[in-house]
Structure formats: structure tokens, C-alpha cells
């Protein structure tokens, strides 16, 4: 960290931007195993919010790792740095008055707690996409589980690296037993009042 920087405070605030957008801004953080449905749900929730005239932006794990975090590995320390950077980006987006949807495995409780510290606890809604490992492996959308089981991928969450489930998420979606439509509606029902 540079000792020669000073935080500049601008006259237009988050609250001013929220008034302009006519809704509150916060970070919807989708966490769960690879293949749990995080990106699918974030995408569909964003579509519904967009239909309601809500200013939104989505941050997705694979997309971010192709750009801003492309040099980070999946080792624990790099996973932590990946999530820290995304939290900082999310914080900027929320301050811009935008409802931001972030879909990341984010396997460690301490990293998800750090997100709330960076963005502000009252600005983060944690959504646990609780899908069993068996179901994620059955889906294996990207073929990652097959590669991990064959030893071709190291540090695969759920296989050779841990996933620490949220203890008290704001919303829990059990995709093994709920349709995509039901899951999207549950999330919307939770957040719609918070937009006012």
C-alpha cells in the first residue's frame, strides 16, 4: 500500500446516486459449489430486476478470471485475493448506485466475512446456492469434476479443496429440490423490499 495516497471525498454520494436510480444499491453475493447454479440464478435475477427498471451489473467468477484476476491460481491465498478484489470492485459498483450481482464459489467463510467488511454488512446480501456435490457432479457443466477426479485439476472445491458452507446466509436456495423459477422468485421476494 502506498503511503503517499490520500482518500479523496467527492460531493456526489452513494445516496445521491440511489436517488437518481430511484432504488437502493447493494451487492448480491451468490456462493456455492461449481455447477450449483450461481451464474444461472444471478443471470435470471438480473433479467427480472432489469425488467423492473433496476440498474444492475453482474460479476462472474469465470469472466473475472479471464481479465482482472487472470494471473491468480486456485491456491488458497490466490482464492482469497480473488475474492478481495471482487469485493473491492463490488464496493465501487454499489457506491455507483448499482445493484451488483456476484457469482463466485468463494469457498471460505473468512473471505465472505471480509466482503461484508469491505462493502459494508448492510450492503451485502449473501445467497447460498446449496446444491449437493452429487448433483453438481451430475451436472458437471464445465467438465471440471471429471478432470478433478482424474487428477487433472488441483484445488478443486468439493473434491481436493474444502467448501465452507455459510452458517447464516440471508437466502438459501436448495436447487436439488427447487426449480430455477422457484429459486429466482425466492431471491426476488427477499430483495424487492430492500430496493426501496
Closest CA to 84 of 44, 119, 43, 129: 119
For the annotated binding site for ATP, the residues are: 32-39
For residue range 26-76, list pLDDT tens digits in order.
999 999 999 999 999 999 999 999 999 999 999 987 788 787 778 887 888
Instruction: Calculate Rg over the CA atoms of the chain.
Output: 17
List C-alpha distances in Å: 99 to 20, 155, 185: 13, 31, 17
Which residues carry out catalysis?
106
For residue range 117-130, list pLDDT tens digits in order.
999 999 999 999 99
For residue range 101-114, list pLDDT tens digits in order.
999 999 999 999 99
For the annotated binding site, the residues are: 32-39
Domains and CATH numbers, the chain: 21-195 (3.40.50.300)
Q: What pTM, to 2 d.p., does this model score?
A: 0.92
Amino acid at each position: 500500500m502506498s503511503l503517499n495516497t490520500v482518500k479523496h471525498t467527492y460531493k456526489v454520494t452513494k445516496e445521491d446516486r440511489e436517488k437518481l436510480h430511484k432504488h437502493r444499491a447493494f451487492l448480491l453475493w451468490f456462493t456455492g459449489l461449481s455447477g450449483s447454479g450461481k451464474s444461472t440464478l444471478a443471470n435470471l435475477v438480473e433479467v427480472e430486476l432489469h425488467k423492473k427498471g433496476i440498474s444492475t451489473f453482474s460479476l462472474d467468477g469465470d469472466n473475472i478470471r479471464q481479465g482482472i484476476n487472470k494471473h491468480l491460481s486456485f491456491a488458497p491465498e490466490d482464492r482469497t485475493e480473488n475474492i478481495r478484489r471482487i469485493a473491492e470492485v463490488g464496493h465501487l459498483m454499489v457506491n455507483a448506485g448499482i445493484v451488483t450481482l456476484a457469482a463466485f464459489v468463494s469457498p471460505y467463510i473468512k473471505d465472505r466475512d471480509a466482503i461484508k467488511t469491505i462493502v459494508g454488512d448492510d450492503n451485502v446480501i449473501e445467497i447460498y446456492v446449496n446444491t449437493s456435490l452429487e448433483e453438481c457432479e451430475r451436472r458437471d457443466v464445465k467438465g471440471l469434476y471429471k478432470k478433478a477426479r482424474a487428477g487433472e485439476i488441483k484445488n478443486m472445491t468439493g473434491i481436493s479443496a474444502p467448501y465452507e458452507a455459510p452458517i447464516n446466509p440471508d437466502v438459501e436456495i436448495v436447487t436439488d429440490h427447487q426449480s430455477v423459477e422457484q429459486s429466482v422468485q425466492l431471491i426476488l421476494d427477499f430483495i424487492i423490499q430492500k430496493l426501496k
